[in-house]
Structure 1
């Protein structure tokens, strides 16, 4: 007999017992991980943050149990904005998506951010929103920009192409406000980077089950990606970095199952950029002018990021840069922000400089 759930955030008794047992082990597992070679050279705060992330992503819980631990994106944003004395500014964009602003609305220059979390987890105030707030402040030194992020519906409750439809709607919303696509940076981490490429794929090859791609009069100014989730199936760096990354190979497979279980026929190539052949990306230069991405040296997604962006993408968008962070894990710069060390990251300042150049062009 199957276990019943009290809605999407309910947790069955067997999973509650498993969580209790796992959390009893937490102090010992954390200490062992903090002192492991994987955290050599990191501060205690960073080692603790990374070790906790690794602990959570190594649990064999079901998706309902995982999502029970986190507040929804909307409530996280409201609490975070109030804590940071920011005005709560949100726009309904259609298809159930919401655009949340970090700082004031503006439509002359915008960085639109899609948060990561395997499409199954909400936004993090400690890493992603902290990063966006710093970016909003530091871009202000060179004309500033509007910073907005999309609250999209989560898998497995809302399968593809829900998130793509919401991303298209968010972009169209900004363009309808008068924003030039040349002054729009599409950005995201992990699954958010994946979503950027879903948008581009759908613009190149409109998917019949998805909403029509936004109509643009010029290419987007740029795509800024942090450890984009490009591969669902294992690539060599999965095995090489399984013990080193914050996200072990098994968890990548688990997250991919949440996405692929709802895919309609023919959709895999849209949802998994690494699965597309080189010719799929023909015409990409008509959609985006510049691409900048980071990849951790010891993250599982490294090979997929380097091969896709350094090969087929760079062949079509010559101004493509991939920075492989030495000893970096998945979303290395965001994990630095999570423990208050984000602005010590050289990669962060590369992103700031790159974004300034896009907007000032």
Structure 2
């Protein structure tokens, strides 16, 4: 059961996303930059940062990024966090609340690339920027054994796709990754896209279809770089997938976990009853968000310890 204060926060998030839908469906003349800025401001106000964490603007491989630093950082721990937003309407400012909690709990410095987005910069621009940001971290001296990935929605899929790109380039992989509500299949062909459409107020199949078309700009949704359920995922680092049971993306997250597991990637899957898309943003408001974030931190803690010991 979702408490009343969480319901109010969810309603506020839906209202903040309203202008995005209007723009996508051709009912607004507003510029994307203004729509994104307004949306980021709304989410930043709804899900504020916790005390004891600082934020700075920096650059990683030519990509603007937000650097999130808690009071204590253990053994050079670093996270690359890949934000959501359908590759169209996301931005780093909306994630000050979630990343500050992540940084504090994991005792890690977090970098959030402000990657290019469609329609100005369609597929594969966000992937290229994520790879560039990771390369810049390695060039700066960050040890990949002390580095982890996390991301939500589109960023959850980017966790897997970025690892694949690094693997193919022969680049050392991070210790592990956490994919939160990953948008892993842009065909939306999983059963949950039919039977759960309408349960989650944040993501309908109609909304996701137009986001996918905007991002892909003519590329097929079955392209493995767009939909990691169709990709060769052998040789990746351990990955935790967390998905809400009410999400239209549920079946595809399960498909992604199966694809990883069958490729001998150490994979953990958590399905959270009644949870909606990226409920982790509600940490401090919703007990299930706090617990899911604790589980993610525990998974990454274990992976970092194993990487440090050479296991």
TM-score w.r.t. the length of structure 1 is: 0.72
**1:52/1:250 CA distance change after superposition, 3 Å:** farther
User: What's 2:254 paired with?
Assistant: 306
Q: For residues 38 and 174 of structure 2, what CA distance do their matches in structure 1 show?
A: 30
User: What's 2:309 paired with?
Assistant: none
Partner of 2:295, secondary structure, is helix
**1:72/1:342 CA distance change after superposition, 3 Å:** farther
Shift of 1:190: 0.4
User: What's 2:37 paired with?
Assistant: 71
Partner of 1:200, secondary structure, is helix
**1:247/1:84 CA distance change after superposition, 3 Å:** same
Shift of 1:117: 0.5
User: What's 1:175 paired with?
Assistant: 138
Contact 1:342 1:348 in 2 (8 A): no
Cα deviation code 1:158-185 (max 9, x no counterpart): 1222212211111111111222222211
Structure 1 residue 233 corresponds to structure 2 residue 187: yes
Of 112, 119, 132, which aligns to 2:80?
112
Contact 2:156 2:183 in 1 (8 A): yes
Partner of 2:148, secondary structure, is strand
Q: For residues 55 and 152 of structure 1, what CA distance do their matches in structure 2 show?
A: 25
Range with bigger deviation, 51-60 or 192-201: 51-60
**1:316/1:183 CA distance change after superposition, 3 Å:** farther
Partner of 1:103, secondary structure, is strand
Q: For residues 170 and 287 of structure 2, what CA distance do their matches in structure 1 show?
A: 33
Shift of 1:66: 8.4
TM-score w.r.t. the length of structure 2 is: 0.82
Q: For residues 359 and 304 of structure 1, what CA distance do their matches in structure 2 show?
A: 27
Cα deviation code 1:75-118 (max 9, x no counterpart): 999999999575443322234x1222111697822111000000
Partner of 2:243, secondary structure, is strand
Q: For residues 296 and 185 of structure 1, what CA distance do their matches in structure 2 show?
A: 22
Of 215, 219, 234, which aligns to 2:171?
215
Q: For residues 287 and 81 of structure 2, what CA distance do their matches in structure 1 show?
A: 17
Range with bigger deviation, 47-56 or 294-303: 47-56
Contact 2:84 2:152 in 1 (8 A): yes
Q: Which has the larger radius of gyration?
A: 1
Contact 1:100 1:148 in 2 (8 A): yes
Partner of 2:177, secondary structure, is strand
Contact 1:291 1:317 in 2 (8 A): no
User: What's 2:100 paired with?
Assistant: 133
The aligned runs of 1:171-320 (5 Å cut-off) are 171-205=134-168, 213=169, 215-216=171-172, 219-234=173-188, 235-245=190-200, 246-261=202-217, 263=219, 268-276=223-231, 280-281=232-233, 284-285=234-235, 287-288=236-237, 290-309=238-257, 311-320=258-267
Shift of 1:152: 0.7
Q: For residues 134 and 256 of structure 2, what CA distance do their matches in structure 1 show?
A: 24
Unpaired segments ≥5 residues, structure 2? 307-311
Q: For residues 170 and 39 of structure 2, what CA distance do their matches in structure 1 show?
A: 25
Shift of 1:65: 4.5
Shift of 1:247: 0.8
Shift of 1:308: 1.6
Shift of 1:58: 7.2
Cα deviation code 1:94-145 (max 9, x no counterpart): 34x122211169782211100000011133656x321111121122xxxx22
Of 273, 276, 286, which aligns to 1:329?
276
Q: For residues 256 and 125 of structure 2, what CA distance do their matches in structure 1 show?
A: 25
